[in-house]
Amino acid sequence: MAMNIPTLYKKDKKGRLIIGDFSIPELSLVNTWVLTEKINGKDKKVTFINQPRFKHVTNPAESFTLDKMVEEFSQVDEMVLIGTEPCHGENWSFILSDVSIDGIWLDRDGVNDVASRFGVPAVPVLGRMSAEETVTLLLSKFNSLFDKNRTIDGVIGRTDPLLFMSDGNPLMFKLEYSDIEKRACIHLVDYMDKLFGRN
């Protein structure tokens, strides 16, 4: 159940983001996205297996011990918690971003509920925006909500309600600030003009 999140737009041969050229066709079908902050850090995944003869937690941490998992979710067969161990900012060892319970992905309210049960923060929602508005938002160069002294690393976009890909994972995209700096991106029209030698 690993999540390979595509970037919002494709890149040209110079590594510049092509604004308007979606990396996968499914992204072009969504008009409004729910944006959360992309945390700068190490991706982490905690899996809780709760079977009558076998109970186990992979990558256990202080907040996700086997006893705590059984206490809070005794009726669950399998639970997957996906988050980030931040590199900077407040002293959190895990910031929760996505949760799957028995193969069902939770919406934002569900994720926030799970986070509160374990006493960890969930990624903050930044708002609802179109793809174009998302680029504009990042170009405003605002600071992370978890580290007021650092520019936000990027955003993750999800649908509401959740839509799913053929592999069962939610339809999502990521967009990092470094990818949309003015020197690092080009609009699709300009890219096509250069590609076909149009002036």
Residue 179 sits in a domain of what CATH number? 3.30.1490
| CA distance readout (Å), 136 to 2, 8, 129 | 30, 13, 10
> What pLDDT is stored for residue 197 in this prediction?
64
pLDDT value for 89 = 64
What phi, psi does 104 have (nearest 5°)?
A: -110, 120
* Residue 66 lies in domain: 41-122
Asked if 89 and 147 touch (Cβ cutoff 8 Å), the reply is yes
Distance in angstroms (rounded) separating the CA atoms of residues 52 and 28: 44
Output the pLDDT for position 13: 87
- Residue 177 and residue 163 share a domain: yes
* Predicted local distance difference test score (pLDDT) of residue 2: 55
Q: Measuring CA to CA, how many Å separate 39 from each of 10, 46, 106, 121, 125?
A: 22, 17, 19, 12, 12
Residues 61 and 110 both lie in one domain:
yes
| pLDDT reported for residue 51 | 95
Residue where a domain stops, chosen among 122, 154, 176: 122
pLDDT tens sequence across 106-136: 999 999 999 999 999 999 999 999 999 999 9
pTM of the predicted model as reported, rounded to 2 decimal places? 0.89
pLDDT of residue 186: 75
Same domain, residue pair 118 and 20: no
What burial letters (b/e) apply to 88-99, b meaning 16+ CB within 10 Å? ebeebebbbbbb
What is the count of structural domains for the chain?
A: 2
pLDDT at 16: 87
Q: Please list the ranges in the chain whose pLDDT falls under 50.
A: 1
